[in-house]
Amino acid sequence: MAKRLDLKDVDIYYGKFHAVDGVTLAVPPRSVTAFIGPSGCGKSTVLRTLNRMHEVIPGARVEGEVLLDGEDIYNSAVDPVAVRRTIGMVFQRPNPFPTMSIRDNVVAGLKLQGRRNKAELDETAERALRAANLWNEVKDRLSKPGGGLSGGQQQRLCIARAVAVQPAVLLMDEPCSALDPISTLAIEDLIAELKKDYTIVIVTHNMQQAARVSDQTAFFNLRATGEPGHLVELDDTPKMFSNPTQQATEDYISGRFG
């Protein structure tokens, strides 16, 4: 189920602007990889290239290879829609579909795949909501709109929606930045649970969070404003936070950056 991701010399552009330069990194299956770095360094951009969401912006393009278990997702024969069905994504702000009920939100991805069997959908909805630690809070109001939940619940609903289709990889773009500390903790616990079944890549501004949830950490940086972002180093999280190889990483992590 869970698959590995390998990036080889990935360059990312917005029109003529070279946003990210030459990223090569490996994401092993059933692990959490955290992307950290200052604003504008391209970590979210890299994340969005992993499920081909980057290219929905007009003029955006990607060079290099992104391999999912050895298969290049940017191969011209690959359908981006199929990539996004295999690689799920959770966004910075919770974005449940406002017109859909909680249950319909969770199974929205399955419905897109043409699954219509009500019993199967109900079962999947329960499984996904349990996986997202949300089942007990919403089991009595599955037919109510998802927009009525609190921010933290909405974000877990979005996670349930993403895992309902059993993706090979789960991408999370600052999933806790709009949440309070208690909801954040709930999501972090959830990430630790989900790691058993999924390959997870998470972008975070919160270094304590990266230290808490991830197995390996990638530090991205900018040489200067207007220059493309690049990967400074990638290593096991304990090593990155105690004894990084690069001076820039140490400066950033210890707060001496900029």
Partner 1 sequence: MTDPTVAASLAGPGDPGDRRGGSASAVPATTAPAAEPAPSLLKAGRRTGAQQGDRIFRGFATGSGAFMVALIGAIGLFLLIQAVPSLLANKGNFLTGRTFEAGDPNNLNFGILELSFVTVEVSIFALVLAMPVGLGIALFLTQYAPRRVARPFAYLVDLLAAVPSIIFGLWGAFVLAPAILPIAEFLNEHLGWFFLFQEGNVPLARGANVFTAGIVLAVMILPIITAISREVFERTPRAQIEAALALGATKWEVVRTTVLPFGRAGYISASMLGLGRALGETIALMIILAATPAMFSGSLFDGGATFASMIALSFAELNNNLSAGAFIAAGLVLFVLTFVVNAAARLIIARSGAKA
Give the footprint of partner 1 on this chain (CB under 8 A). 51, 53, 56, 58, 81-86, 88-89, 91, 93, 95-99, 108-109, 112-113, 145, 147, 158, 161-162, 165
Q: To the nearest whole angstrom, how small is the minimum distance from the Cβ of residue 237 to partner 1?
A: 26
Q: Which is nearer to partner 1, 82 or 192 (CB)?
A: 82
Q: Which is nearer to partner 1, 79 or 227 (CB)?
A: 79
Q: Which is nearer to partner 1, 36 or 171 (CB)?
A: 171
Q: To the nearest whole angstrom, how small is the minimum distance from the Cβ of residue 254 to partner 1?
A: 34
Query: In this structure, are residues 46 and 220 in contact, taking their beta carbons and an 8 Å threshold?
Result: yes
Q: To the nearest whole angstrom, how small is the minimum distance from the Cβ of residue 153 to partner 1?
A: 16
Query: In this structure, are residues 230 and 220 in contact, taking their beta carbons and an 8 Å threshold?
Result: yes
Q: To the nearest whole angstrom, how small is the minimum distance from the Cβ of residue 89 to partner 1?
A: 4
Name the DSSP class of 54: G
Q: Which is nearer to partner 1, 56 or 192 (CB)?
A: 56
Q: How many CB atoms lie within 10 A of CB 67?
A: 17
Query: In this structure, are residues 199 and 30 in contact, taking their beta carbons and an 8 Å threshold?
Result: yes
Q: Which is nearer to partner 1, 81 or 224 (CB)?
A: 81
Q: In this structure, what token pair is assigned to residue 221? A: 């940086």
Q: How many CB atoms lie within 10 A of CB 46?
A: 27
- Strands 169-173 and 199-203, sheet pairing: parallel
Cα–Cα distance, 174 to 75 (Å, whole number): 28
Q: To the nearest whole angstrom, how small is the minimum distance from the Cβ of residue 34 to partner 1?
A: 20
Q: Which is nearer to partner 1, 109 or 152 (CB)?
A: 109
Query: In this structure, are residues 198 and 170 in contact, taking their beta carbons and an 8 Å threshold?
Result: yes
Q: To the nearest whole angstrom, how small is the minimum distance from the Cβ of residue 15 to partner 1?
A: 13
Q: To the nearest whole angstrom, how small is the minimum distance from the Cβ of residue 251 to partner 1?
A: 33
Query: In this structure, are residues 233 and 203 in contact, taking their beta carbons and an 8 Å threshold?
Result: no
Query: In this structure, are residues 38 and 232 in contact, taking their beta carbons and an 8 Å threshold?
Result: no
Q: Which is nearer to partner 1, 43 or 161 (CB)?
A: 161
Q: Distance of CA 74 to CAs 30, 54, 146, Å?
A: 23, 12, 34
